[in-house]
Amino acid sequence: MATIRDVAREAGVSIATISRVFNASARVSEDTTSRVREVAERMGYWPNGAARSLITKRTNAIGVLLPDLYGEFFSEVIRGIDLTARREGYHLVVSSSHADSNELLTALQTVRGRIDGLIVMAPDLADSAPFDESALRFPIVLVNPGFTTTRCASVSTDNVTGARAMVRHLAALGHREIAFIGGPPSNLDARQRQQGYHEALAELGLPATPGLEVTGSFTESSGFEATRELLSRTRRLGAIFCANDCMAVGAMSALRQAGLRVPDDVALAGFDDISIASYLTPRLSSVRVEASRLGERAVQLLLGCLARVAAPGPRQPMPHEILPTSLVVRESSGATPDRVMQTANGSAVPSS
């Protein structure tokens, strides 16, 4: 295996120059950097990460802490994190934790010292204390956190506005009996989407009927069972709005099994606009969340926090961003794109 001395000798430069090249120092010319990297690749040399981090005080690794989450949406968030991190020269250290304080503390201790910063997806967590303590040691960015904290940066989805837009869309088509299949009450996204549903009903003067609300768990099977429960309560359903697309898939199956047609008998809509939404029959109307963008912004915020930590001067306030959602209308809600109303956060997205 080639050593740093072998590469320096072959490239005709000093050992210090080799070190500067792999530490991305601006003191090395572009020609020299290219020559050194070509020689290193040809000789199969790569610097020892542990030794390099002792010099740079950086690991060039980002930690990602995930709760026990389900579905394509979270895969897209991770994809956005991974692509952006690799583009910026970082690799990921991924750990999982359930919504339990003891498990969370164990996970935080596991990644400590191995990463430069941490991204945490925390929609089911309500306690900021473990993060507040850890944020004193390295930067932390929270994705859709279920709590507020001034010590960590965060990026979230505008769930309330998105849910309000979908309910207004369904009401504009003449529906007055709009049922809602929600997610777990412990989940912030679920609570905010339910909040948007209630706010829209109030704005439109529509009754909030407890019998038209059922709780699911963001899975297809829970959407199926929730729809069967709704049908057992009433046959006067005009529309069903599901708090995510996975539950809408289950709802569509339950309606079909009951002999009801979508959208002729019951209109149907979801939330997240995962890829399968445009391949269902009929295609699913949904609230689009740019899940990959959510992961991308989390990495960008974390890198910004790392730069602020390294910069001299007083500590700057942590940034908190809310990414917009948009309405995507397809056949399942019974409307065509030209009948889409303007949403509070911009024009609706055409059917795709």
Q: How many domains does the chain have?
A: 2
Q: For residue 278, is it within any domain?
A: yes
Confidence of residue 58 (pLDDT cuts 50, 70, 90): low
Q: Are residues 233 and 279 in the same domain?
A: yes
Partners of 117 in beta bridges: 62
pLDDT band at 99 (very low <50, low <70, confident <90, very high): low
The answer to the question of residue 240 being in a domain is yes
Average pLDDT over residues 308-318: 64
Assess whether 247 and 302 both reside in one domain: no
286 C-beta neighbours (distance < 10 Å), count: 30
Task: Find out whether the peptide bond into 282 is cis, omega within 30 degrees of 0.
Answer: yes
| For residues 138-153, average pLDDT | 83
pLDDT score, position 340: 45
- Distances in Å between the Cα of 283 and the Cα atoms of 20, 218, 221, 276, 351 are 54, 19, 19, 9, 9
Mean pLDDT of the chain: 83
Q: Are 114 and 258 members of one domain? A: no
Res. 190: pLDDT tops 70:
yes
Q: Is the dihedral of CA 269, 270, 271, 272 positive or negative?
A: negative
Strand order of the sheet with strand 61-66? 91-96, 61-66, 117-121, 140-143, 153-157, 320-323
Sorting pLDDT into bands at 50, 70 and 90, what band is 113? low
**Between residues 106 and 306, which one has the greater pLDDT?**
306
Find the domain containing 112 and state its range. 61-157+291-324
127-131, 171-175, 180-184, 274-278: segment of lowest average pLDDT? 127-131
Query: Same structural domain for residues 304 and 275?
Result: no
* Rounded distance between C-alpha atoms, residue 75 and residue 115, angstroms: 22
Q: Is the pLDDT of residue 292 over 90?
A: yes
Residues in the chain: 352
